[in-house]
Structure formats: C-alpha cells, structure tokens
C-alpha cells in the first residue's frame, strides 16, 4: 500500500523515472521504499534485469532517503557524489522489486545512505551505499520552492 501523498511525488516530474517505471511505496524522513516490476524494457541480452536498472534503483533510493520534505509547495534535491552497488542475485523479469533506502548520517551539506533491493520472494538482489550532496537550499527539511530554478 502506498502511503506517499500524490502531491509529494507527482509534482516533481522526472522523464527518466517515468521511463524506468519506479515509484514510491513509503517515504518519510530518512527512509524510502521504491517499487518496480521488471518488464521487457528492463532486460539485458541475457534476459535478466540490466545492471543499470538495478544501479538506478539503488541510487534513487539513497537520494530520496535524504530528501524528504513535508511541505506541499517545497522540495529538496541532492546530487550523487559516490555510489557503490553490489549485485547479489539476478533480477528476474516479472518480479516486483522493492528498494529500501536509509539516510544514515551526514552534516549540513552531505549525507550518507544505505540501500538494498529484494524481490517479491524476499530474495536479496543488490545492496548499495551512497554519498550525496544537497543542492543549494535543500540542507533542511524546509527545502526550496518546487518551481525554483535548479542551479
């Protein structure tokens, strides 16, 4: 069940996110769960999930875990500084993946996150760690106006 208010996610349109097809299940301070059902467009030439899809989910979950903003007209943004992904088992087509991200620590402008992906059978698919830098104005939960120009 999705407990993320529609305004919190849909107002921040991302063509890439729409193409890959992932979305939120849970999003709160320091924590996010993203879901994606693997389809044909996600497969590599071996017939399993492309590693880029898995890395995208790991990266997105880390960034969103540190960028929760409770204010309807505001948003927080971050850029990835470093990303490590460990591929544990293949992502099988037709499986629903859930990616969990947790913001673990950080300072005023940088935060660290850990992530993992499991499939709908509870099988671990991948883990990751990331370092993210807040975009100017996103250092606190107040964030910036949603329509603010990104520098």
The pLDDT profile of the chain, 151 residues, written as one tens digit per residue, is 466 666 566 656 678 888 899 999 999 999 999 999 999 999 999 999 999 999 999 999 999 999 999 998 899 999 999 999 999 999 999 999 999 999 999 889 999 999 999 999 999 999 999 999 999 999 998 999 988 877 6
Q: How many CA atoms lie within 13 A of 129 on its CB side?
A: 3
Dist CA 75 CA 143 (whole Å):
5
Burial of residue 36 (number of CB atoms within 10 Å: 0-12, 13-18, 19+): buried
Q: Quick check: is 151 in a domain?
A: no
Number of structural domains, the chain? 1
Q: Which residues pair with residue 134 across a beta bridge?
A: 78
Q: Quick check: is 73 in a domain?
A: yes
In the chain, the N- to C-terminal Cα span, in Å, equals 35
**What's the pLDDT at 9?**
60
Q: Quick check: is 15 in a domain?
A: yes
**What's the pLDDT at 148?**
81
Q: Quick check: is 150 in a domain?
A: no
Q: Quick check: is 149 in a domain?
A: no
**What's the pLDDT at 8?**
61
Q: Quick check: is 134 in a domain?
A: yes
**What's the pLDDT at 146?**
85
Q: Quick check: is 37 in a domain?
A: yes
**What's the pLDDT at 62?**
98
Burial of residue 47 (number of CB atoms within 10 Å: 0-12, 13-18, 19+): exposed
Q: What is the CATH number of the domain that holds 44?
A: 3.10.129.10
- What domain range includes position 49? 6-144
């Amino acid at each position: 069940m999705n407990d993320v208010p529609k305004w919190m996610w849909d107002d921040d349109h991302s063509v890439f996110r729409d193409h890959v097809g992932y979305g939120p299940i849970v999003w709160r301070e320091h924590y996010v769960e993203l879901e994606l059902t693997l389809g044909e467009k996600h497969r590599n030439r071996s017939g399993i999930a492309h590693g880029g899809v898995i890395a995208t989910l790991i990266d997105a979950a880390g960034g969103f875990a540190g960028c929760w903003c409770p204010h309807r007209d505001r948003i927080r943004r971050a850029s990835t500084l470093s990303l490590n992904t460990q591929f544990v088992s293949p992502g099988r087509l037709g499986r629903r993946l859930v990616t969990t991200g947790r913001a673990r620590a950080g300072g005023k402008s940088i935060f660290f996150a850990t992530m993992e992906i499991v499939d709908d059978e509870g099988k671990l698919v991948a883990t990751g760690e990331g370092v993210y830098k807040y975009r100017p104005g996103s250092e606190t939960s107040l964030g910036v106006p949603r329509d603010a120009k990104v520098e």
